[in-house]
Amino acid sequence: MSVTIAGAGAFGTALAVSLAAEGGVVRLWARDAAQVREMTHSRQNVRALPGIALPDTIGPVETLNPDPGQTVLVSVPTQKLRGFLGQHGAALSGRVLVLCCKGVELDTGLRPSQVAAELVPDAAVAVLTGPSFASDIARGLPTALTLACADAGLGRKLQAELSTQSLRLYRVTDVTGAELGGALKNVIAIACGIVIGAELGDSARAALMTRGYAEMVRLATALGADPGTLAGLSGFGDLALTCTSLQSRNFSFGHALGRGEAFDPGKTVEGKATARAVTALAEARAIDMPITRMVSAVLEEKLTIDAAVAALLARPLKEED
């Protein structure tokens, strides 16, 4: 098995290590030539995943030139996906692309698969998402993810190609639901991080996770998703992971915000842009998403954390939905 992974961040590198450990040959593309040289010489990705050795069958490259018929895993941040696809569209034309990014494009409200359909219309697109930390995957710890592909036959092929002894892929055809689950849970994770950082308690976190999940399902079903998808790995599973661990960048960002501390600006926090994009989507469709709206308002400094909490607690009493 031979694949190209575009994006040498933590997740792309972890997937490369997992696949190479099973005997796969992996080209790991990075846009930074200096990073390619570092990985080639040190056999580690010190910038993104320090302490993890890169197997010999991983070849760091700075030119994206996949072999004919080779599957390409695209692991770049959602907000940079359009630029990446625009720059490399010729190399990706007609290929199978597995998108490994989570979020909603800020300027357009589009999901990653919709951006890919616009810029590389002749590519076959699948999505890999679900509860995982890159370090767990790279260390060979048991992990289960969702592989979403509208073409069931292609989905089965990719499932067999990309699963390993420690990385188990479950297949769905609901790409919309899988993408929205992975995107929306990041917003709720920021909210939960704020709650724990501000020492508002685990009971408050549990409430936010539960009501946040209701928001996720509400928007996803309005956009055509199967609610059952949100109950799986790409929705509930990812929500549970990212709302309970400081390994999650979204949770740890919210945690720093709740404590009034600075957060490393070099770390990508997909939920920040997603909160703003989803708030606009929900308002345009008159969908009630109060937690998402409050997170967006706090991030835009329109509300303080105390004011956001007060606004949520002051909402009218209602039946649980």
- Residue 108 in tokens: 């357009």
DSSP state of 66: P
Between CA 251 and CA 238 the distance in angstroms is 12
Helix (H, G, I), strand (E, B) or coil at 145: strand
Between CA 189 and CA 193 the distance in angstroms is 6
DSSP state of 233: I
Out of 80, 185, 302, 318, which one is annotated catalytic? 185
Beta bridge partners of 49: 45
Count how many Cα atoms sit within 13 Å of the Cα of residue 223 in the half-sphere of its side chain.
Answer: 28
Between CA 18 and CA 53 the distance in angstroms is 11
Between CA 286 and CA 136 the distance in angstroms is 39
Between CA 177 and CA 182 the distance in angstroms is 9
Catalytic residue status for 157 = no
Which residues are marked as active site? Answer: 185
